[in-house]
Amino acid sequence: MPVMNIIEAVRDALRTQMRQDQRVVVLGEDVGKFGGVFRATSGLHEEFGADRVIDTPLAEAGIIGAAIGMALYGLRPVPEIQFGDFIYPAFDQIVNELAKFRYRSGGQYPCPVVIRTPVGGGIRGGHYHSQSPEALFIHTPGLKVIAPSNPYDAKGLLLAAMRQNDPVLFMEPKRIYRASRGEVPEGEYELEIGKANVVREGSHVTVLCYSGMVSIAEEAAKKAEGQGLSIEVVDLRTLMPFDIDTILASVKKTGRCVVLHEAPKTCGFGAELIAAIQERAMEHLEAPILRVAGLDTPFPYTLEHEYMPNADRLLSTVRQVLEW
């Protein structure tokens, strides 16, 4: 089986689907000849031509707006927003239009658009190249939100996203775009949207995480093992709809839980996860569920590693939960 990084896996998914389905088009800033600033679409322009790998004028609202019109007419657009931080000019098109078309038209107009965008910090990108805006979109009825943490999941989930009929925001962890490597099957396979993955079994505490934070949780779990601490790491993979069954099964087993995400803490996705758990499994909880998250400051440039969650912060919080 070939070994790929996340960028290669994403590209492989796009290529696989574009070969199979003439309706799939890629559009965005620099996605054509240049192959995208992160090279995710590299080689696609040569293979599929300028009609299907489209360099757009520089305007996110136009990229998403045009993608919506393309989807309504019958294409399967996969627009790229160059950085998650640049998605806001398209916010209205995503939240009020893309996510609502099926519903507001009484089911007449499905809008199958898969928006790819890199998210997260740790690349010395400062405030405008580091944000994790998932909560805004999880809070948007009509959208699915997917946030893979590794190449295998990225390809399988992206293929699945391009083959279903709802709009999807596909968030890619840019810090580990190349650092995360793993075996990825050639050709096609799909991972089910909405299914979490227990990436490491444990018995003392559950850590819920996704995207770039999964590797941090695994690192912490390894460290903890030496100290006799058994951490179960659950990679949510899909954030909307999230896999409540896997989450509850794990929390009921361990009785303790910490949520780890890179986005700011207040009103972050962790708050929703905690609420969802306590609504359904209060009697199984041995301690309050705590969060390790990004801070409620804008994402800083120089001090980004003081801002971002890390294995030590996670471990200290895990201990707090265990000692409660």
Active-site residues, by number, are: 129
In the bound complex, what is the minimum distance in angstroms from residue 64's beta carbon to another protein?
A: 8
In the bound complex, what is the minimum distance in angstroms from residue 222's beta carbon to another protein?
A: 33
Q: Phi and psi (nearest 5°) for 70?
A: -65, -45
**Of the residues 38, 101, 152, 269, which one makes contact with another protein according to CB under 8 A:** 101
28 binds another protein per the rule CB under 8 A: no
**How far apart are alpha carbons 134 and 235 in whole angstroms?**
15
| CB of 188 or CB of 272, closer to another protein | 272
**Of the residues 20, 39, 62, 319, which one makes contact with another protein according to CB under 8 A:** 62
Residues whose CB is less than 8 angstroms from the CB of residue 70 and which lie 6 or more positions away in sequence, other chains included: 25, 27, 77, 113
The SS3 assignment for 101 reads helix
In the bound complex, what is the minimum distance in angstroms from residue 191's beta carbon to another protein?
A: 16
Helix (H) or strand (E) holding 182: strand 181-183
Q: Which amino acid is at 286?
A: E
86 binds another protein per the rule CB under 8 A: no
194 binds another protein per the rule CB under 8 A: yes
**Of the residues 2, 141, 185, 288, which one makes contact with another protein according to CB under 8 A:** 141
**Of the residues 40, 75, 157, 314, which one makes contact with another protein according to CB under 8 A:** 75
Residues whose CB is less than 8 angstroms from the CB of residue 200 and which lie 6 or more positions away in sequence, other chains included: 217, 218, 221, 231, 232, 233
Residues whose CB is less than 8 angstroms from the CB of residue 125 and which lie 6 or more positions away in sequence, other chains included: 83, 301
**Of the residues 26, 70, 207, 221, which one makes contact with another protein according to CB under 8 A:** 70
59 binds another protein per the rule CB under 8 A: yes
**Of the residues 109, 204, 230, 301, which one makes contact with another protein according to CB under 8 A:** 109
In the bound complex, what is the minimum distance in angstroms from residue 299's beta carbon to another protein?
A: 25
139 binds another protein per the rule CB under 8 A: no
Residue with tokens 């925001």: 169
274 binds another protein per the rule CB under 8 A: no
Task: Report angle CA 198, 203, 204 to the nearest 5 degrees.
Answer: 115
SS3 content of the chain, % helix, strand, coil (to 5): 40, 20, 40
Phi-psi region of 115 (alpha: psi -120 to 50; beta: other; left: phi over 0): beta
103 binds another protein per the rule CB under 8 A: yes
In the bound complex, what is the minimum distance in angstroms from residue 87's beta carbon to another protein?
A: 15
Helix (H) or strand (E) holding 257: strand 257-264
Site string for another protein, 211-250 (x = CB under 8 A): -----------------------------xx--x------
Four-residue CA torsion sign, 183, 47, 117, 34? positive
Q: Which residues make up the interface to another protein (CB under 8 A)?
A: 25, 51-52, 56-57, 59, 61-62, 64-75, 77, 89, 92-93, 96-97, 100-110, 141-142, 144, 164-166, 194, 240-241, 244
